[in-house]
Each structure stands twice: as structure tokens, then as C-alpha cells.
Amino acid sequence: MTLHLPTLFLLDIYMLTLLGGLMLHAWRRSKSEATLGCMAGTLLLAALGALVVGLRGMGVDTLSILLGNMLLQLASGVGWAAMRVFVGRRLCWPGVAAGALLWGLLGLWPYFMSSVSLRVTVSTLLTVLYTTLTAWELWRVRRQLEVAIAPALALLLVHALFCAGLLLVSRGPAIERMWDGLDHGFLTWRLLETFLFAISIAFVILAMVRERAELRYRAAAERDPLTNIGNRRAFTGNAEARLARCVAEGRPAALLLCDLDYFKQLNDSHGHATGDAALVAFGRLLALGIRQQDVCGRIGGEEFACLLPAADEAVALQVAERIRQACSELLLEPEVRVSVSIGVASTEQAGYDLSRLLALADQALYRAKAGGRDRVECFAG
Ligand SMILES: Nc1nc2c(ncn2[C@@H]2O[C@H](COP(=O)(O)OP(=O)(O)OP(=O)(O)O)[C@@H](O)[C@H]2O)c(=O)[nH]1
């Protein structure tokens, strides 16, 4: 295939600059995402490198070969850095600059500067190395990452394989002749592939960063920042889903409504910090004391709820009593303790409607408070 090389260079430079600008803009809007900043750096460096390499034949050949390729290698290094930042690893500046520095050193060797095929081989091998390293960064944390990484991995691997394969099939005289206008095959394919790869990887990385940010915002919106357990919204959503499953499986469920006793008094006499410590300690106690399929959350100031799927009233009373006992053993400060009253309701009386379960558990809680607090009561219909 023969395409007009200057046009391809222009297309690549235009696309890399445009994508780099878009990344820069995205990074400015969400400064916490350093991956976007690195990606902007990669794309803009690659655009500049392509521009300088494209100046070849305009009387600045040595500068074009040396500086252009150093910029392209630096772009690959920064691309690797972008992925390290994404997966939470520290930047490795010597590694980022190694390709560019190697190229600068080789440029001092006259034979290297006079051999097109040697230069193309070194440049391609460095590109393959950086691309493989970038893919490896993703692969090694594939189980920890919560976003889809398959598209990025596939793109990186195809890019590495394509560059290596192209080098293998166009070795020797074909490469030596490519700048003389006799054989453009290698360069044409490289520029075309760079064009497609740059567009694809930029969008895939942008999508990964966005997906992860969205997941984090969603998780934060459903978490109580003080106790780090689910808030009312999360509790309601998860509890309704669990109740629906209990209906489908024909199993009962029970709800515990827990309210710390004399909490206003605790705040007033020991300060809000102690009150907060009591909430944190009780939240942890609850989260550690329930089974994996149970759902708990802080649904109000000092009010917590816990849905126990597949538990009848008798089991729920046992769990509630265990929680009450553990709470009474919490020592917030020397001599400062807190107790909890718990109301229990089960689907046997309330059916599978969450708001009805909460209402009946609230009545039971009222009885526990009225009965002297630090006790468990179940709804007595
Ligand atoms: N420290 C702290 N206090 C809170 C928080 N949220 C709510 N509170 C306080 O919790 C207290 C709840 O007081 P009440 O509803 O009167 O209940 P109580 O004092 O526990 O009385 P009983 O429930 O009847 O035993 C209020 O003083 C709220 O200001 C919080 O996040 N941190």
C-alpha cells in the first residue's frame, strides 16, 4: 500500500495533538486523576516527536533523527508512567527516560546514525518494550482493579505484536530504502497503526479513568463517612434487594433497629468526640458481628439497622442479644461506657415490606426504651 507520507505525518500529528489537548482538558477538570495528565504528556510528546521526525529531508536530518526519536521514546516512557499511576504505583523516572537517553547515547555512534535499519530496529524494540511494560502494569493488578481492563490490554498487546511483526517482515533493504521514496511500506503501516492506536488507547484509558471515578463516587455516596458502614440510602437499597431474594426463596428475614442509649447525655457530658467514638465503635461492632449476607447501616444520628436474611424471630433475638452484650462491654474511655436498645421485627409479622418492618421494629425499640433501655424487645403484635 502506498500512501502520501507527508499527509500521514500531518494526520498523525493533528490527531495526537487533538487527543493530547482533550486529555489535558479532562485532567484540568479532575486534577486528582494524574493518569490523564500523563496521558496528555504522552500524546503531546508523540505529536512533537512525529513533527520533528517528519522534518527529515529538510536540511535538519541529524536533529530530526536524534531529537525526534528521543521525544518519541520519551512519549512511550510517559505512557508507561501513566499506567503505573493508574494502578497506584510510584513513578520510575529513570525508567521513563531510559529509552530517550539510550537513543541520545546511540546518536553519538556514527554507524548508528548512518544505518536506517539499525535505528528502526532499536526504535521498534524500545516501543515494543514500553508497550509490553505498560500492559504488564495492568495485568499484574487485574484482580484488584474494579474496572474493565480487557480492551486496554488487547490494544496494547496488538500494538506490541504489530510493531514487532512489521519489523520482522520489513527487515533489511526495504527499510534502508524507505526514506529515499523507493519503499514506503514500513513507515506507511507504522504511521497508520499509530493513528488508530492513539485514538483507541486514548479513549479506552479515558473510559477506564471515568469508570473508576464513577464507582468511587457511588461508593462514597453510599457510605457513612464517620462509621464507614452503609448509610440510609445504601441500607434501604441493599435491604430491599435482600428481602426480594428472601421472598423468591421462600425464606423469612428479620430486622434489628438499634439505638444508642442516652446519647445526648454522652455528648453533653463527655463531648462530641466521645460521642463520635461511640458511633464508630458500635458501627465496627455491628459490621464485624454480622454474617456476610446480612445488611447493616447507620440510618440516623445514633440509630443503626440490620437486616438478617434467612433468620426467624428466635434467631434475630439471639443476634440482637449478642450485639447488646458486646456493646455494653465497649470501653470508650476509662469509666465511659455506652449501651444500646434494640427492637426486633420479622417478616412473620410484617411481611416483606421494608418500611413496615422498620415501623414494627421501631415500636419494639420504643418498648425497649420504655422498659429501661439496654435491652432487646421484639414486636409483640
Ligand atoms: N457525637 C455525635 N452525636 C450525634 C451524631 N448524630 C446525632 N447525634 C446526637 O445524638 C443525640 C440523640 O439524642 P436523643 O434523640 O435525644 O436520644 P438519646 O439521648 O440517645 O436518648 P434515648 O435514645 O431515649 O436513650 C442528639 O444529641 C444528637 O445531636 C453524630 O454524628 N455524632
Give per-residue pLDDT as tens, 179-223: 555 456 777 888 899 999 999 999 999 999 999 999 999 889 999
Q: Would strands 303-309 and 253-260 be described as parallel, antiparallel, or unpaired?
A: antiparallel
Residue (of 51, 56, 55) closest to 12 by Cα position: 51
DSSP-assigned letters across all residues of 268-280: HHH-HHHHHHHHH
Say what the ipTM of the complex is.
0.92
Q: Which of 33, 137, 302, 377 is catalytic?
A: 302
Residue (of 188, 184, 161, 159) closest to 174 by Cα position: 184
Residue (of 158, 249, 147, 256) closest to 206 by Cα position: 147
Q: Give the atom of ligand 1 at the shortest distance from the alpha carbon of 276.
A: 1
Q: Would strands 340-346 and 376-378 be described as parallel, antiparallel, or unpaired?
A: parallel
Average pLDDT on 93-109 reads 95
Q: State the pLDDT confidence band at 277, using cuts at 50, 70 and 90.
A: very high
Grid cell digits, residue 381: 403484635
- Computed on alpha carbons and rounded to an integer, the radius of gyration of the chain in Å comes to 32
Residues 126, 73 contacting (CB under 8 angstroms): yes
At residue 308, what is the residue type?
L
Span 234-252, pLDDT tens digits: 999 999 999 999 999 999 9
Average pLDDT on 20-27 reads 95
At residue 218, what is the residue type?
R
Span 298-345, pLDDT tens digits: 999 999 999 999 999 999 999 999 999 999 999 888 888 999 999 999
Compute the half-sphere exposure of residue 267: CA atoms within 13 Å on the CB side of its CA: 10
Whose grid coordinates read 493533528? Answer: 14
Measure 319 CA to ligand 1 centroid, in angstroms.
24
Measure 230 CA to ligand 1 centroid, in angstroms.
19
Q: How far apart are CA 343 and CA 239, in angstroms?
A: 17
Task: Among 267, 282, 302, 324, say which to mutate for ligand 1: greatest number of ligand atoms within 8 Å of CB.
Answer: 302
CA-based end-to-end distance of the chain? 84
Q: How far apart are CA 248 and CA 88, in angstroms?
A: 42
Partners of 223 in beta bridges:
230
Q: What is the pLDDT of residue 182?
A: 44
Measure 302 CA to ligand 1 centroid, in angstroms.
6
Is 33 marked active-site?
no
Q: Give the atom of ligand 1 at the shortest distance from the alpha carbon of 226.
A: 31
Ligand 1 neighbourhood includes 137 CB (under 6 angstroms): no
Q: What is the pLDDT of residue 114?
A: 87
Ligand 1 neighbourhood includes 369 CB (under 6 angstroms): yes
Average pLDDT on 170-180 reads 60
By alpha-carbon position, which residue is closest to atom 13 of ligand 1?
Answer: 264
Instruction: Please state which CATH number belongs to domain 232-378.
Output: 3.30.70.270
Q: What is the pLDDT of residue 356?
A: 96
Q: What is the pLDDT of residue 31?
A: 76
Task: Among 227, 267, 338, say which to mutate for ligand 1: greatest number of ligand atoms within 8 Å of CB.
Answer: 267
Q: How far apart are CA 256 and CA 340, in angstroms?
A: 12
Percent of the chain clearing pLDDT 90 (strictly above)? 76
Q: State the pLDDT confidence band at 178, using cuts at 50, 70 and 90.
A: low
Whose grid coordinates read 525508567? Answer: 95
Span 36-80, pLDDT tens digits: 999 999 999 999 999 998 887 777 778 888 999 999 999 999 999
Q: How far apart are CA 324 and CA 23, in angstroms?
A: 53
Q: What is the pLDDT of residue 380?
A: 77
Q: pTM score, two decimals?
A: 0.74
Measure 280 CA to ligand 1 centroid, in angstroms.
14
pLDDT for residue 173 is more than 80: no
Q: What is the mean pLDDT of the chain?
A: 91
Measure 263 CA to ligand 1 centroid, in angstroms.
5
Average pLDDT on 278-300 reads 94
Q: How far apart are CA 79 and CA 202, in angstroms?
A: 10
Burial of 17 (0-12, 13-18, 19+ CB in 10 A): middle
Q: Give the atom of ligand 1 at the shortest distance from the alpha carbon of 261.
A: 25
